[in-house]
Structure 1
Amino acid sequence: MNETVKNFIKVTFSAEIAFRLDKVKRGLSLRSEENLDELRSGLREIVEDRTLTLKEWGSLSDIDFEDEADLYRYLDDCYAYFFGNREDFPVAPR
C-alpha cells in the first residue's frame, strides 16, 4: 500500500470523519489528477486483491469490523461512492 492510500485511510476512516464521507468526496476534487489516480488505483487494488487484514485496518482506522467480508464490502461501497456512481455514502459500523 502506498503512502497516499495509507494516509487517506488514516484520515478518512478516523472517528471524526468516517461518518461524513460526503465532505471527503467533495475534497477529492481539490487533489491533483496524479494524486487522485494514485489514490483510485491504490484503493481499487486493496479491494480487488484483499491485501488488507483486519489487524492492519485496525492500525490505520478507528472503525472496527467483525470480519474481512464486512470490511471489503464496506471498502467496495466506499470506492463506488468516491469514484463510481454510488449516490449515498456507505455508513460505517459503530
Structure 2
Amino acid sequence: MRERAAHFANELNKLSTYLSYEMAAETGGYLRPTLHSFNDAYVEAVQSGLKSILDDRNLTVNDYMAIRDIKFEGEGALYDYLGKIYDYLFGDLAEQSLPPD
C-alpha cells in the first residue's frame, strides 16, 4: 500500500502544476500552451505520468484528495476528469475541464 501511494505521489508531483485547483479552475486557455512551451523532455514526463495514472487506474479519490485537496464523488468522476485533462493537454479537446467545487 505504501509503495503504491509513493508511486502515485511521485507521478502526481510531476503533474502538480497542471492538476492544482488554481490551474484547474483557470480555464482561460493558457494551460496547454504554457505546458508545451517547456522542453520536450518535461512535456513527455508530464504526458507519461498522466497516462500511467490513467492506464493503471490505481489512484483513489482519497489518494488524489490527499495530494491535491480536490474531492471527487467517486473514481469514475476522478478518471473522467483526468481523462479530459489529458485530452486537453495532449489531444484535441478544445476546452479545459473544470474540477468539482
Band the TM-score falls in, shorter-chain normalisation: 0.7 to 0.9
List aligned pairs for 1:18-57, cutoff 5 A. 18-21=24-27, 22-57=29-64
Tell me the CA shift for residue 62 of structure 1.
2.8
Query: Residues 64 and 27 (structure 1 numbering): CA distance in 2 closer, same or farther, change over 3 Å?
Result: same
Contact 1:13 1:63 (8 Å CA) reproduced: no
Q: 1:25 and 1:4 mapped to 2: Cα distance? A: 21
Q: 1:3 and 1:67 mapped to 2: Cα distance? A: 19
Q: Which runs of 5+ in 1 are unaligned?
A: none
Higher Rg of the two aligned structures: 2
Q: Which runs of 5+ in 2 are unaligned?
A: 1-6
Q: Does 1:69 align with 2:76?
A: yes
2:13 aligned residue:
7
Percentage of pairs with the same residue: 29
2:23 aligned residue:
17
Q: Secondary structure in 2 aligned to 1:28?
A: helix
Contact 2:65 2:71 (8 Å CA) reproduced: yes
Contact 1:2 1:42 (8 Å CA) reproduced: no
Equivalent residue letter for 2:21 = A
Equivalent residue letter for 1:89 = Q
Contact 1:78 1:90 (8 Å CA) reproduced: yes
| RMSD over aligned Cα atoms | 2.1
Give the TM-score normalised by the residue count of structure 2. Answer: 0.79
Equivalent residue letter for 1:7 = N
